[in-house]
Structure 1
């Protein structure tokens, strides 16, 4: 039996990239995983299919977390999906992974870009966690996906970096708030991971090598590099860790 057997997990933004890797790893550890996506139904189906092919359990939920009513839609579908799988409305592990990027230096930032990035990366995270806590038993786990951009100056994506700083501050405050319930709250800060989000930044071999050079290991990260850390934080083995920001950047810019 896996360490998460009998548990239910929700991973936002799980149709591709880091989110897909996390969903697959939590399912391998025995959890029933709700795979959230915004618009790419085919990609979400691929994630769910891969989990089921590996002997795991999963179902998809669709919601735009950056608009009014998005979080409510997410949980209406989550509750229904969990009921279909006979687990009830409980949620043991929440991974707030959904996020949007947007390259813009200070002179390029627009109100529209700012509002969109913060709506998804910060605002929705707060209310997703709020609703999760109504369903989460004592001893649950919340893992927020932040970014190394919260500790490394990255003016090329100013607003994105700001939003991830907000994620880390939220993590710290929420960890203290729910400590009495033995719920842990931690954030994970990936560096450059080989996903669709940064495909344009590594469109040539030279560009990819420049990104890889950020890490002391001189390679780009893979979704599994982050998923393994999240799996640890989702397990009972991490019970004495809370309110922390775990660097998952391969030692970028040490």
Structure 2
């Protein structure tokens, strides 16, 4: 039934009303809450992770990242924060991008949302995308061109995280990522209002039908989506995930 839901969304052209293949971002209503969902397709969209700028400083914002990309004739198609970070904005857990590895895989339980096991890793590999529970990732590491660890897992093999309570009162603007079973598609989601973990997890499991999904963060969650004329401001960011597209006249400057 979950995959019928996802197929129905695609059939109705949910992501057809935006400019450019790498800017499939649209509002979606689920269980009384509204979310922005950005779809990315393996082999079609150029999805990357970023942390450190060429001068060695952490990017920290969509605007600075966009200015750097412009030097190569590129801009962000969409972007969002991509994992938890320390006060100096370095990643809490594993982080891997073109510059190398900036953090180590953390397999032990710990404080806060990151340490609420099971947590997980989002992997961008040569064959597609994956969201894997951290200890499963450690036991059999996949090939990843980019990877970011965060937590908790929102959906694990089709089930919500066992610590999510339907009557929970903790609410934040939250964002995360879910991946299709075959790894060919990833959906990046941010809530428009404050939601509970249970509500957010159900969006991935029931609204999008993703068998596995990973929480990125809450409270500081931000989105850059020029197709929706949106680019959020706020505190400096750590890891950023997004697509790149060539600069064109309609969207120059992003």
Higher strand share: 2
TM-score normalised by structure 2 residue count: 0.27
TM-score normalised by structure 1 residue count: 0.27
Higher helix share: 1
Whose relative contact order is higher, 1 or 2, with alpha carbons under 8 Å and at least 6 apart?
2
